[in-house]
A and B are shown apart, each in its own frame.
Chain A
């Protein structure tokens, strides 16, 4: 195998009788953005949760940079370099924007079992945080309490937190969720820049964004991958169209 930074092999997960992940094999290569699309309830978020460690698969193996991480905790996988964003905004509402991101940066910069020094005055952490905020255009909002941000800004903060941890791979769960057209377009442009630095596994409903960003697209239906290929291949794949693009997408794009 060349360059696969993240490999899923035979991943299987069921909640009772409901099979949500049905023997999934998936690769994410270095330098690529691999998009995962599919109708609601296809098991996309469940899959991301298994990759990040929030859920344990019933069977199968997840290797990351050649190392089996299937049995690692969420925190250990994050330390190994798996960064993620959440579909439902998951930030620290009582912290300032800066502190949200500085906390993520702190993970990469020495031990956090330091009890006396003032974390808020550590310029290295704050600089790293400002840089991540800068990439998403949030630097002017650094001192705002995160809970007071607008919805769109919270989505950007969500991403800034993921980036500030300097992951080796980004798992993005619907970064555009709930955004307006203009916001989505500007975020797509931002992600095009971010894509150059991190391999990205992207879940997204916004097809315009998917086809702009993705190098490869896999279609997930009822827990199984039914089609996989370049955006153009998938766009023309009859199975993919029938399963997903056909009904769900036309309404969206109109």
Chain B
């Protein structure tokens, strides 16, 4: 019954075409601020920033889910931890991003280490539920921070400084920073999965018994992956706080974690661009549909069902098959 950890991974896409697809996506994202000058304006860039931040989180989740077989239902907690670390420091007068980032990542790493050590004792559905439990604990804990807005959230009155400059106070600055962070995360996670560490992690997803009898402590590798993914999500949280100038416990709600899982599965797990495409698709389709009808979920819901039923391997798997049919 540990089906969750044996989820079917899509066949690996041809590496070169995956690289081209990623290049096109990043180029399109880089062009958006220019397009926004003519049409869409701040709304379009803000939407793109949101999508990119979620894509960062989704990519980090895919490291766990797709490559590690660890389906975390509490990943948004790390986003919230990062966002609150930024929110609280900015409120308390610490403005320098080079201080905020390490603190946010450190807090996420500590939480990942402590909660992960417990979570890694379980597997399959139990793992899903125990990560949910820890996520909920963070959610409620943040809601109890009376001096920082409690349930209502915390408005951030000043943007962080970047090495003393006001780079992150400008829309362009935030946009460029988020885009760089996205490309960096994408490249980093890809490198990690191809590394020695990633090889052990991917092997443990397929057959933990074999991997431990080779002499690898599966626990240690999984926990390390959990910490890395948590730290990346915390960076996304800092970016979110910077972009939105507002943080609230709902950043860490279970619905957010559920959305993230959906994004990764939707795009295609353990593929080079699946999580990226899944997150962007999720946000874009949400915007497009909601501009057509207020009741866009009536369309989006059945769309998800159809994808679950007929598109094994998610959107990337679907694209691969279409390509495969043509050649």
Contact = CB atoms under 8 A, between A and B. Distances in A.
Interface of A: 52, 54, 73-76, 78-79, 84, 86, 90-95, 99, 102-104, 106-107, 111-120, 122, 161, 165
A93 B207 CA distance: 8
B200 A112 contact: yes
Contacts of A103: 199-200, 203, 211, 214
Given A73-B217, A75-B218, A90-B207, A112 B212 contact: no
B25 interface: no
Nearest to B200: A112
B215 A75 contact: yes
B196 A119 contact: yes
Q: Which of B198, B202, B209, B212 has the most CB of A within 10 A?
A: B212
10 contacts: A78-B214, A92-B210, A99-B199, A102-B199, A113-B197, A116-B192, A119-B195, A119-B196, A122-B196, A161-B210
B196 A114 contact: yes
B203 A74 contact: no
Given A93-B206, A112-B200, A113-B224, A73 B212 contact: yes
B206 A75 contact: no
A165 B211 CA distance: 11
Contact of A75 (B9, B202, B216): B216
A97 to B, nearest CB: 13
B23 interface: no
B217 A92 contact: no
Contacts of A112: 196-197, 199-200, 216, 221
Contacts of B212: 73-75, 78
Tell me the interface secondary structure of chain B in the complex.
helix
A116 B203 contact: no
B214 A165 contact: yes
Given A75-B218, A78-B215, A103-B203, A91 B197 contact: no
A135 to B, nearest CB: 17
A223 to B, nearest CB: 23
A117 B215 contact: no
A104 B213 CA distance: 10
Contacts of B224: 113
A111 B221 CA distance: 12
Given A75-B218, A104-B214, A116-B195, 8 more contacts: A91-B207, A93-B207, A99-B199, A111-B196, A112-B200, A114-B195, A118-B195, A165-B214
Contacts of A92: 203, 206-207, 210-211
Interface in B147-205: 191-192, 194-200, 202-203
Contacts of A94: 9, 202, 206
Point out which of B197, B209, B224 has the most chain A C-beta atoms below 10 A from its C-beta. Answer: B197
B206 A95 contact: yes
B112 to A, nearest CB: 16
Nearest to B197: A115
A117 B192 CA distance: 8
A79 to B, nearest CB: 4
A75 B217 contact: yes
A107 B206 CA distance: 18
A77 to B, nearest CB: 8
